[in-house]
């Protein structure tokens, strides 16, 4: 075990907490340089960088009651949007198993976990990032009560570390506004084990960037992220792709300083298409884009050419399109989205989001 992992194992607790509850709201995030491919224990095959979002988030309340003696199993009830949800239980069980070594109090309590999303469940927007981030923060909040001298930086770092064990990209959903995850030679302090706040200068233009999420396909994906990541093992282009992600993070450094939006667009759109190219060249191959995903991409390119706008798109592991644009183009782009893009959305649905500043205790 590395020094860092050892640091996350508590040596003991100075307080005892019998019963109580905590609530945290954690945001979703959208990667600019994509994480696709992982090694054992949720270690990313390449570094990634993301905008933390704001409107798309998960709120989780953790109620806890201490048992008289340590339980043989984890003991918890899980409620999603007010209803008991048994199909979520295995995910939580796995998460508790993976994190128990770092949270030795887990079997000491009975938990009730109540969670809800700000976005509709069937929107094609994955709630695993915001969900695992919110739950990790609730558990760290409890650990801070058991160890009141814990400092806040450590608490956030360990929350990111735990969230990663739940769902890789969740480690980028703890803080804001620009988060880097995965060891990179140019970024001092970067780690495969947790996300960090991007440590360099960032131009004002990126401080209030917009992300309008066009809901192209609200159904369940045919191929999960877990399966997709695994198909990068033995993928013919994997090595080049991982190297390219390192290079794109280096290329973004001067872009973030200067606010060079043309170069930003070039890197971000290329990353989105490369992610999907990896899917299409996996064995077995698969396609998550839909015809309307491509319609939207083409319309964005046309509009950018005609109007000299800085609008661009990115994609996650699905058919929905994230439309990115700076604050100063807000009116013009909103008009274009309403008149030109929402016809390609399922039931004309879309979500107006923007860059956010991280999770909050409620």
Q: Would you tell me which residues interact with ligand PMV (CB under 6 A)?
A: 31, 34-36, 48, 126, 128, 167-169, 225, 229, 275, 316-317
Query: Where are the alpha helices (H) located in 167-237, listed in sequence order?
Result: 225-230
**Separation of alpha carbons 184 and 252, rounded Å:** 13
Smaller CB distance to ligand PMV: residue 111 or 242? Answer: 242
The alpha-carbon radius of gyration of the chain (Å, integer) is 20
**Closer to ligand PMV at the Cβ: 30 or 333?**
30
Question: Which of 22, 289 has the CB closer to ligand PMV?
Answer: 289
CB of 262 to ligand PMV, least distance (A): 23
Q: What are phi and psi of 83, to 5 degrees?
A: -115, 140
Q: Of 31 and 103, which CB lies nearer to ligand PMV in the complex structure?
A: 31
Q: How many CB atoms lie within 10 A of CB 209?
A: 17
Residue with tokens 């979520």: 88
Nearest distance from C-beta of residue 253 to ligand PMV, angstroms: 18
Q: Report which of 32, 337, 60 is spatially closest to residue 209, judged by C-alpha positions.
A: 32
Question: DSSP 3-state assignment of 133?
Answer: helix
Contact 106, 48 (CB under 8 A): no
Provide the minimum distance between the beta carbon of 31 and ligand PMV in the complex, in angstroms, as a whole number. Answer: 3
Q: How near is the Cβ of 227 to ligand PMV at its closest, in Å?
A: 10
User: Which CB atom, from 169 or from 309, has the smaller least distance to ligand PMV?
Assistant: 169
Shortest approach of ligand PMV to residue 317 CB, angstroms?
4
CA atoms within 13 A on the CB side of 244: 18
């Amino acid at each position: 075990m590395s020094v860092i992992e050892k640091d996350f194992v508590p040596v003991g607790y100075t307080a005892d907490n019998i019963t109580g509850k905590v609530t945290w709201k954690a945001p979703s995030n959208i990667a600019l340089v994509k994480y696709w491919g992982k090694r054992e224990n949720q270690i990313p095959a390449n570094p990634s960088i993301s905008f933390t979002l704001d409107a798309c988030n998960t709120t989780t309340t953790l109620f806890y009651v201490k048992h008289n003696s340590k339980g043989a199993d984890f003991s918890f009830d899980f409620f999603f949007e007010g209803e008991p949800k048994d199909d979520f239980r295995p995910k939580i069980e796995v998460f508790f198993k993976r994190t128990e070594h770092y949270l030795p109090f887990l079997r000491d309590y009975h938990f009730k976990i109540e969670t809800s999303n700000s976005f509709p469940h069937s929107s094609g927007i994955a709630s695993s990032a915001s969900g695992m981030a919110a739950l990790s923060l609730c558990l760290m909040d409890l650990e801070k009560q058991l160890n009141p001298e814990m400092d806040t930086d450590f608490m956030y770092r360990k929350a990111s570390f735990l969230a990663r064990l739940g769902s890789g990209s969740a480690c980028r959903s703890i803080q804001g506004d620009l988060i880097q995850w995965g060891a990179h030679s140019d970024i001092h302090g970067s780690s495969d084990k947790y996300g960090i706040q991007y440590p360099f200068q960032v131009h004002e233009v990126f401080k209030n960037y917009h992300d309008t999420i066009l809901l192209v396909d609200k159904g369940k994906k045919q191929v999960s992220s877990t399966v997709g990541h695994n198909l990068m093992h033995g993928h013919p282009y994997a090595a080049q792709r991982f190297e390219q992600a390192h290079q794109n993070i280096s290329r973004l450094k001067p872009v973030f300083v200067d606010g060079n939006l043309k170069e930003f667009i070039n890197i971000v759109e290329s990353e989105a298409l490369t992610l999907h190219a990896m899917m299409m060249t996996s064995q077995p191959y698969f396609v998550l884009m839909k015809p309307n995903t491509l319609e939207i991409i083409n319309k964005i390119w046309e509009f950018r050419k005609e109007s000299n706008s800085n609008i661009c798109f990115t994609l996650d592991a699905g058919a929905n399109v994230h439309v990115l644009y700076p604050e100063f183009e807000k009116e013009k782009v909103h008009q274009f989205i309403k008149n030109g893009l929402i016809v390609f959305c399922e039931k004309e649905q879309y979500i107006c989001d923007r860059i956010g500043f991280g999770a909050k205790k409620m």
